[in-house]
Amino acid sequence: MPPRPTFAALSWRQISQIRAHFIKSPQPHILNPLLGTLTSSAAPHSALHLYNLMIGLPAAHNHYTFTYALKACSFLQARHKGTEIHARVLKSGHWSDVFIQNSLLHFYFVHEDVVSADKVFETIDFPDVVSWTCVVSGLSRCGFEREAIDKFVVMDVKPNCSTLISVLSACCGLRELNYGRAIHGYVLRNWSEVTINLWNAILDLYAKCGFLVGARNLFVKMPERDVFSWTTIIGGYAILGCHEEAIKLFQEMLRVGPEPNEATIVNVLSACSSNGALASGEWVYTYLSSRPDFPLDGPVGNAQINMFVKCGDVDKAIHVYNKLESKDIITWSTITSGLAMNGRGNHALQLFSLMLVHGVSPDDITFIGLLSACSHSGLINQGLMLFEAMDRVYGVKAQMQHYACVVDMYGKAGLLEKAEAFIRAMPVEADGSVWGALLNACKIHGNEIMFERVRKRLVGSRSVSVGTLALLSNAYAGCERWEDANRVRDEMRLGGLKKMAGSSWVEVSPVINGDEVELTSASLG
DNA sequence: ATAGGGTTAG
């Protein structure tokens, strides 16, 4: 729940200026623009101060006043004040003003109050394109992507660029690549005036869905490319782990494109966060020394730490970590899990204590790192203690990945019976990742009897993922049990997994192919 | 003078 705004932060000087304005000319056509200026200023709470003054005097406000005030409430997360304004709108007789209704819609969606937003929408007699866009984007941002698309389908006014951007962001959340491609086609056929933001939204959908051929073609054909376009396509390569392509594009951007911003750096470093990408990562690191305008604390510093630990350069990661003045939960989680991945489990646990000393509370992801640290380093007692304290002390509920870590921990230590007993004692049914961890342990320790038992259990389970079956198949193949390996492959094909395998394996396939447009300074015009 | 949209780390 966002805090109510305090007006104490307003200086006396500002207050007296506003009062002077108010006394000198208490007419809406003077005060409303002032209200608008204050709303988009560095101190939107001063807008609410002026609004309070205006509301006290009927001649000083009109219907415009409410839209400005609601915008200030959306900025400020001033939920209570916004509902108060809503009540006043209803009393004032302006309840059918579509500008005010749209402002209310936006206000409620910003506060993730989907129910109130929907109620407002239902009261609008003739929703216009802004009302519809507001609903589509609001539903999408609140996690109701399917409902957002459903609204878009039934809207009875012509959409514009903003509407399409909103529905594309819903498609992004659902990985609805084909729906997005249909929108792309519709735009190409029917629209002449397309904003760069709309091209960027299509680009983002393609990038997030791993459809890099489409993204790259669009990127080259777009009439212009801004920093969002470059950042988005680099992010697409990052998702697929293609660091060579990402770093090439980044260097191209430095030559012919706009100035990179923090998001660009985060994306390109994320692309370099894989084995063998240290040289690319260090190239970006060197570039950063020419950009003292980027604050190190926050995403840029964290992304550097992540890159170095993933590339195996722990000392460099610690060097960056030491330079950070304020470390957030992502810093701590990155460095602890990174140390764990590089075999420094004890060091990871020490930093966990330090994190607590700094007053940062661990979350679910922190514990995945810690538990895997214990697993990697054979620190089984510490791991079990952490798992037990996770919920009891830190209020973090165990998820499948945590259970899988514990099974992995037992498994690595050769305690296969304990691992299996742990799975059977779980309060929720284990999924493929948990059974897979046990299977892996059986394979490592050559326990064929348990392997067979787990296999039977797995194949009968509906929650088993393609990855687990692939692991099973590979495990058989590893023991040269080819018939068993093939049987599992057949089970994968027949067991309703075809679709799943198709969608997740095909789309992530190679990125660069022959028919792609070569990206050069010339083609960028 | 009034309303809606895009890239960011574990």
pLDDT in tens, chain A (525 residues): 344 444 445 677 777 877 887 888 788 988 999 899 888 888 888 899 899 999 999 999 999 999 999 999 999 889 999 999 999 999 998 989 999 999 999 999 999 999 999 999 999 999 999 999 999 999 999 999 999 999 999 999 999 999 999 999 999 999 999 999 999 999 999 999 999 999 999 999 999 999 999 999 999 999 999 999 999 999 999 999 999 999 999 999 999 999 999 999 999 999 999 877 999 999 999 999 999 999 999 999 999 999 999 999 999 999 999 999 999 999 999 999 999 889 898 999 999 999 999 999 999 999 999 998 898 888 999 999 999 999 999 999 999 999 999 999 999 999 999 999 999 999 999 988 899 999 999 999 999 999 998 888 777 665 555 555 555 555 555 444 545 555 554 454 444 333 233 222 222 223 333 333 333 333 332
Domain identity same for A60 and A113: yes
Domain identity same for A87 and A183: no
Å between A74 CA and B4 C1'?
Answer: 13
The CA-CA-CA angle for residues A82, A102, A186, to 5°, reads 140
Q: What is the pLDDT of residue A462?
A: 55
Of the candidates A438, A377, A391, A449, the one whose C-alpha atom is nearest the C-alpha of residue A411 is A438
Å between A223 CA and B8 C1'?
Answer: 25
* C1' of nucleotide B8: residue with nearest CA: A263
Strand B proximal to A372 Cβ, under 7 A:
no
Domain identity same for A65 and A138: no
Distance, CA of A246 to CA of A276 (rounded, Å): 14
Domain identity same for A203 and A135: yes
Domain-terminating residue out of A123, A155, A186: A123
Q: Give residues 131-160 of chain A lying near strand B (Cβ < 7 A).
A: 131, 133-134, 137, 141, 160
Q: Report whether A443 contacts A429 (CB < 8 A).
A: no
Tell me the nt nearest to A165, Cα to C1'.
Answer: B5
Q: Give residues 391-450 of chain A lying near strand B (Cβ < 7 A).
A: none
Q: Report whether A307 contacts A274 (CB < 8 A).
A: no
Domain-located, residue A231: no
Domain-located, residue A338: no
CA dihedral A441, A429, A341, A450 (to 10 degrees): 0
Buried b (16+ CB within 10 A) or exposed e, A102-117: bbbbbbbbbbebbebb
Domain-located, residue A467: yes
Q: Give residues 286-345 of chain A lying near strand B (Cβ < 7 A).
A: 298-299, 302-303, 306, 328-330, 332-334, 337
Distance, CA of A188 to CA of A177 (rounded, Å): 16
In strand B, which positions have an atom below 7 A from any protein CB? Answer: 1-10
Domain-terminating residue out of A88, A105, A123: A123
Task: Look up residue A401 and give its two tokens.
Answer: 């990945």
Strand B proximal to A363 Cβ, under 7 A:
yes
Q: What is the pLDDT of residue A467?
A: 55
Q: Give residues 202-221 of chain A lying near strand B (Cβ < 7 A).
A: 204
Domain-located, residue A165: yes
Domain identity same for A194 and A164: yes
Domain identity same for A68 and A151: no
* C1' of nucleotide B1: residue with nearest CA: A33
Q: Report whether A71 contacts A90 (CB < 8 A).
A: no
Domain-located, residue A8: yes
Give me the helix-helix angle, A243-256 and A227-240, nearest 10°: 170
Å between A170 CA and B5 C1'?
Answer: 12
Domain identity same for A58 and A74: yes
Tell me the nt nearest to A169, Cα to C1'.
Answer: B6
Strand B proximal to A62 Cβ, under 7 A:
yes
Domain-terminating residue out of A224, A248, A264: A224
Domain identity same for A16 and A77: yes
Domain identity same for A52 and A134: no
Å between A336 CA and B8 C1'?
Answer: 21
Number of neighbouring beta carbons within 10 Å of residue A264 = 24
Q: What is the pLDDT of residue A13?
A: 78
Q: How many residues does chain A have?
A: 525
Domain-located, residue A199: yes
Task: Cite the beta strand spans of A235-375 per DSSP E.
Answer: none
Q: What is the pLDDT of residue A88?
A: 96
* C1' of nucleotide B2: residue with nearest CA: A64
Backbone phi and psi for residue A294, each to the nearest 5 degrees, phi listed first: -80, 125
Å between A143 CA and B9 C1'?
Answer: 22
The CA-CA-CA angle for residues A412, A415, A417, to 5°, reads 135
Domain that holds residue A146: 127-224
Strand B proximal to A239 Cβ, under 7 A:
no
Q: Report whether A333 contacts A304 (CB < 8 A).
A: no
Q: What is the pLDDT of residue A274?
A: 82
Q: What is the pLDDT of residue A456?
A: 81
Å between A2 CA and B10 C1'?
Answer: 25
Instruction: Give Cα separations from A495 to A361, A431, A469, A504 (angstroms).
Output: 42, 16, 11, 16
Domain identity same for A20 and A107: yes
Q: Report whether A348 contacts A337 (CB < 8 A).
A: yes
Domain-located, residue A478: yes
Domain identity same for A47 and A144: no
Strand B proximal to A369 Cβ, under 7 A:
yes
Domain-located, residue A278: no
Q: Report whether A334 contacts A328 (CB < 8 A).
A: no
Instruction: State the total domains in chain A.
Output: 3
* Amino acid identity at A490: D
Domain identity same for A100 and A170: no
Strand B proximal to A51 Cβ, under 7 A:
no
Q: Give residues 75-104 of chain A lying near strand B (Cβ < 7 A).
A: 97-100, 102-103
Distance of CA A104 to the CA centre of its chain: 26
Distance, CA of A168 to CA of A205 (rounded, Å): 7
